[in-house]
Amino acid sequence: MGIARMKKVYLLAHQADKERVLSALQQAGLLEINEITGTEEAADWVTLLARDQEQQALQELEGRLAEVKFNLDFLNRYHPVRKGLLDDFLAEKKSFTAGEMEQLATGWADASSKVFAAAKAIEEKLLQMRNEETRLQNLKQQLLPWRRLPVPLEELHSTPAVKIELFTLPVNAADKFRAELAETDAAYALEQVENLRGEIYFVLVAHHSDVETVRDVLKRFDYVRHTFPELTGLVDELLAGLEEDLQKLAARQEEVRQNIAELAQYREQLLYYLDYLTVLREKKQAVENLGRTVSTFALEGWVREADEERLQQLLSAVSDSVVLVTREPEPGEAFPVQLENKPLFAPFEFVTKLYGAPSPYGIDPTAAFAPFFIIFYGIALTDAAYGLVLVLLSVLGLMKIKGENMRRLLKILFGCGISTIVFGWLIGGWLGYQVLGAPLYFDAINDPMRLLIYSLALGIIHIFWGMMLKLIHLVRQRQYFAAFADVILWYGLIIGLLLLIVPAVARFGKYLAIASAVGLILTQGRAQSSIIKKFFSGVLSLYNITSYLSDILSYSRLLALGLATGVVSLTVNTMAGLLKGNPIGYVAMIVILAGGHVFNLAINALGAFIHSSRLQYIEFYNQFYEGGGKYFNPFRMQTRHLDIRPEGLPDK
């Protein structure tokens, strides 16, 4: 329960065994490896060690990883797999033993180099083809306007007698150009070939002696000369040829695409290889934390106390010359945090981890807030039918989904669904209707004040429970005075103030509150040095009552969220109800009902989850939580696409 006890580990072994020791450790996943620093008493022995490293092996691995990533990226770009939102969660991981994986890995490596070579070649080919296509398309665009030229292009060269020019002019300048050219005494022939996109395409034939005159006129206009020095034949025929070339190119591209599709069959192997290499890389990176001498290496880390035996057995099975020394953490020494909870509460570690890690010497809040989380969720959603949907969806998900984190979330949702059914039945409805008669207890929409009071009361219980955790923690640490001054006195003040509301005990409440307040004034400044500072700190501490007040009022959100679900349901039902009467109306009614309720469920299920989390993180944690820990991160095999089953590990 709570935060696992950890032991510091020092391990010493022969270099010759290093590979096998690390493999065994990685497969077992029991030990967190830290940078080697040595012990307090013998810090100097670390100076005898050189930092171990395997740069070369690591670099080679990085190279191979880059290759696989390039391959996968290539396949994703040219041959993407369609996948739904949920596919990642539903994917069944292939499972191998570590030995099987070693054997298969050579095959994967071959596949990877094969794909890499092919992909490189294909990329180059594709680039060439794209360039070729651009060239052909540009030429086509240039030639297209001239397709009515009845003469082969090579005959458009100038002859000894005349000069021939192809050019374009903007449409609005064409008439003026014709007129100005006619005014000269030049001998020429001007033919309009095409009028396209605001440009007129002209062929001009002029006698050599008149070329200068004609050019002078042309210069006054915004003309563009066109020449096709390298082309021969009729434009029409050239265009037909280009079209044919383009089609051939498309066929070749299709062929390459086929090649890529063939490569895609290796995708799965590439993904496995990626995992394999990642695991290897992590092993090589772990080496950088070790210290070494010529023939030995030393390792430092943390192991859960419960796993110490297994670690010992595991290592003695690997080699009989491994020395393992463990010790308790020294007082105040930060050790990695591993949450340990009963199976019923363990899923809620999902919520705990969303916030961060508690201090190793603090409190694991998981089991403490789990029941409240579920109750708050139920009140914030308050619709029995929605609860039923959540239960069904989470059961369905738990049957299909394998990912540990996702399963935890689904288990939480299952509990929240049950709670929503209960509270929906008690104070809400079914899809906004009160199908099974009125709510069992009272109707939250017609009596919101009552739910508000219940919400605030729940808040007070929640906050008192949080203070109780602090009390227990302080007592366990034998800080009895702090427990009295920082928790009991506050209990007294808050309870006293609450009792003021009830006339029968108001007098008692008054005295309790005053006594507690005096106690707080006397004790809350105890960390200060001088009497005056002590007094003022004590008085100022009373101001904290506002923080308790705002914490408690914050629980009014439970009412607001519950009403929000109920009223949106009501809105959907009323809008749908307005439509009934004819067949089309009934269809529209069903569409609105289905869409509206799915929307309402989705948005409020999310809202209930985050507000329920928030009430833990802000209001509840405020009472006792100490953060700043780091989660236990054992050296292990982290894979995304395949499952590696360890071999030869001692049983639990």
Partner 1 sequence: MFGLESGIVLAVIGAALAVLLAGIGSAIGVGTVGQAAAGVVSEDPDKFGSTLILQALPGTQGIYGLLVGFLILLRIGFIGGSPVALTVEQGWSFFFAALPIAIGGLISAIYQGKTAVSGVYLVAKRAEESGKAIIFAVMVETYAVLALLMSIMMLFGVRV
Question: CA 458 → CA 179, 238, 333, 471, 624, distances in Å?
Answer: 95, 85, 38, 20, 18
The verdict on 598 binding partner 1 (CB under 8 A) reads: no
The verdict on 570 binding partner 1 (CB under 8 A) reads: yes
Residue 495 beta carbon to partner 1: minimum distance, rounded to whole angstroms: 26
Piece of 124-132, 172-180, 230-238, 348-356 that binds partner 1 (CB under 8 A): 348-356
Residue 550 beta carbon to partner 1: minimum distance, rounded to whole angstroms: 10
Buried b (16+ CB within 10 A) or exposed e, 443-452: bbbeebeebb
The verdict on 554 binding partner 1 (CB under 8 A) reads: yes
Residue (252 or 614) nearer to partner 1, CB? 614
Residue 456 beta carbon to partner 1: minimum distance, rounded to whole angstroms: 11
Closest listed residue to residue 355, CA positions, set 610, 40, 642: 610
Q: Distance between CA 342 and CA 27 in Å, rounded?
A: 25
Question: CA 428 → CA 216, 387, 394, 445, distances in Å?
Answer: 91, 11, 22, 8
Residue (183 or 404) nearer to partner 1, CB? 404
Closest listed residue to residue 365, CA positions, set 561, 619, 5: 619
Residue (45 or 631) nearer to partner 1, CB? 631
The verdict on 475 binding partner 1 (CB under 8 A) reads: no
Residue of the chain from 607, 626, 630, 646 that contacts partner 1 (CB under 8 A): 607
Tokens of 449: 């004040």
Residues 289/33, Cβ–Cβ less than 8 Å = yes
Closest listed residue to residue 378, CA positions, set 413, 416, 405: 416
CB proximity list for 476: less than 8 A, separation 6 or greater = none
The verdict on 606 binding partner 1 (CB under 8 A) reads: yes
Residue of the chain from 126, 239, 560, 588 that contacts partner 1 (CB under 8 A): 560
The verdict on 149 binding partner 1 (CB under 8 A) reads: no
The verdict on 568 binding partner 1 (CB under 8 A) reads: yes
The verdict on 571 binding partner 1 (CB under 8 A) reads: yes
Residue 75: CB atoms within 10 A of its CB come to: 22
The verdict on 470 binding partner 1 (CB under 8 A) reads: no
Residue 529 beta carbon to partner 1: minimum distance, rounded to whole angstroms: 36
Q: What does the angle CA 345 – CA 350 – CA 354 come to, to the nearest 5 degrees?
A: 140
Residue 575 beta carbon to partner 1: minimum distance, rounded to whole angstroms: 9
Residue 610 beta carbon to partner 1: minimum distance, rounded to whole angstroms: 5
- Please tell me the total number of residues recorded for the chain in this structure: 652
Q: Distance between CA 616 and CA 458 in Å, rounded?
A: 13
Residues 311/31, Cβ–Cβ less than 8 Å = yes
Residue 415 beta carbon to partner 1: minimum distance, rounded to whole angstroms: 19
Residue of the chain from 506, 567, 587, 590 that contacts partner 1 (CB under 8 A): 567
Closest listed residue to residue 616, CA positions, set 350, 427, 423, 408: 350
Residue of the chain from 138, 247, 477, 574 that contacts partner 1 (CB under 8 A): 574
The verdict on 354 binding partner 1 (CB under 8 A) reads: yes
Residue (505 or 570) nearer to partner 1, CB? 570
Instruction: Name residue 6's amino acid.
Output: M
The verdict on 549 binding partner 1 (CB under 8 A) reads: no
The verdict on 610 binding partner 1 (CB under 8 A) reads: yes
Report the greatest alpha carbon distance in the chain. Answer: 126
Piece of 60-68, 109-117, 122-130, 603-611 that binds partner 1 (CB under 8 A): 603-611
Residue 574 beta carbon to partner 1: minimum distance, rounded to whole angstroms: 6
Q: Distance between CA 411 and CA 397 in Å, rounded?
A: 9
Question: CA 427 → CA 55, 267, 336, 554, 557, distances in Å?
Answer: 65, 54, 44, 20, 16
Helix (H) or strand (E) holding 9: strand 6-14
Residue of the chain from 603, 640, 647, 650 that contacts partner 1 (CB under 8 A): 603
Tokens of 385: 């039918």
Q: What character string, x for contact with partner 1 (CB under 8 A) and - otherwise, covers 373-412?
A: ----------------------------------------
Piece of 132-140, 288-296, 330-338, 564-572 that binds partner 1 (CB under 8 A): 564-572
Residue (293 or 574) nearer to partner 1, CB? 574
CB proximity list for 319: less than 8 A, separation 6 or greater = 13, 14, 17, 20, 21
Q: Distance between CA 510 and CA 508 in Å, rounded?
A: 5
Q: With CB under 8 A, what is the number of residues at the site for partner 1?
A: 31
Piece of 174-182, 341-349, 484-492, 606-614 that binds partner 1 (CB under 8 A): 606-614
Residue (338 or 612) nearer to partner 1, CB? 612
Residue 235 beta carbon to partner 1: minimum distance, rounded to whole angstroms: 44
Residue 351 beta carbon to partner 1: minimum distance, rounded to whole angstroms: 9
Residue (394 or 565) nearer to partner 1, CB? 565
Residue 85 beta carbon to partner 1: minimum distance, rounded to whole angstroms: 7
Closest listed residue to residue 518, CA positions, set 540, 497, 538, 503: 538
Residues 369/613, Cβ–Cβ less than 8 Å = no
The verdict on 72 binding partner 1 (CB under 8 A) reads: no
Residue (394 or 616) nearer to partner 1, CB? 616
- Interface residue list for partner 1 (CB under 8 A): 85, 353-356, 448-449, 452, 554, 556-557, 559-561, 563-564, 567-568, 570-571, 574, 577, 603, 606-607, 610-611, 613-614, 617-618
